[in-house]
Amino acid sequence: MKNNVTPRNHELVMADEDLILSKTDLTGRMTYANEIFKKFAGYKEDELLNEQHSIVRHPDMPRAIFKILWDGIKTKREVYAYVKNLAKDGSYYWTFANVAPDLDLDGNIVSYFSVRRKPDRASLEKIETLYHEMLQAEKKVSRRDSIDASMAILNDYLKARNADYDSFIHEI
Ligand SMILES: Cc1cc2nc3c(=O)[nH]c(=O)nc-3n(C[C@H](O)[C@H](O)[C@H](O)COP(=O)(O)O)c2cc1C
């Protein structure tokens, strides 16, 4: 299903105790979503299962963040990211996401899962500014060059703070 939802400026805010959970196959197709996921995203179970996780992708998210996510989990690492998601009615909701691979006994990746918590507000303000700059950089170049363009902004940001992505994400 193609995501043709029009975003609107209406925020849904997670509660402290909310956990938004999902699982996917190796290609990012959803195999599980919990009740809280369905509540925020506004989709019924049968609208989510077997669909790509990008069904909740928000256009304000820089592509470089999803590259970091996939590069990490495909190499058996867990990745944390601030992710703005798009609900079916066009609302948005910010999450602090942990995405990780599920390994079988031989160490092969069999699926991916994610747990999203309520993000810290002060961190979000910084993230929104950074993501905005990354997105602007993506829009200035062709689609082919867009990930490199926004990754360069992120890398400059990290370099100025003498941080790598993993330390930055926990300290911001
Ligand atoms: C377990 C798992 C959870 C994911 N959760 C989200 C999510 O909440 N929001 C999102 O936009 N992308 C999520 N993704 C990434 C999507 O698969 C996809 O890479 C992203 O939406 C960018 O889509 P695009 O490449 O079509 O632009 C997740 C991927 C995995 C494997």
Question: What is the pTM for the complete model shown?
Answer: 0.96
Q: What type of residue is 133? A: E
In a domain, 50, yes or no: yes
Q: Tell me how far apart the alpha carbons of residues 6 and 91 are, in angstroms, rounded to a whole number.
A: 9
Structural domain span for residue 73:
20-171
Could you tell me if residue 6 is inside a domain?
Answer: no
pLDDT given at position 72 = 98
Residue 3 has pLDDT above 70, yes or no: no
pLDDT in tens, 92-125: 999 999 999 999 999 999 999 999 999 999 999 9
Where does the chain show beta strands of DSSP type E? 20-24, 30-33, 79-86, 92-103, 109-117
133 belongs to a structural domain: yes
Cβ of 150 closer than 6 Å to ligand 1, yes or no, is no
Do 83 and 94 contact (CB within 8 A), yes or no?
yes
In the predicted model, is pLDDT for residue 26 greater than 90? yes
Please count the other Cβ atoms lying within 10 Å of the Cβ belonging to residue 156: 11
27 token code pair: 């290609």
CATH number of the domain residue 117 falls in = 3.30.450.20
CA of 66 to the centre of ligand 1 (A): 7
The answer as to whether 57 is a domain residue is: yes
Any domain includes 8: no
Number of domains in the chain: 1
pLDDT digits (tens, 9 = 90+) for 52-61: 999 999 999 9
**pLDDT reported for residue 79:** 98
Is residue 41 within 8 A of residue 33, CB to CB? The reply is: yes
Q: Distance between CA atoms of 55 and 48, rounded to whole angstroms?
A: 8
Rounded to the nearest integer, the mean pLDDT of the chain is: 96
5 part of a folded domain: no
Cβ of 137 closer than 6 Å to ligand 1, yes or no, is no
159 inside domain: yes
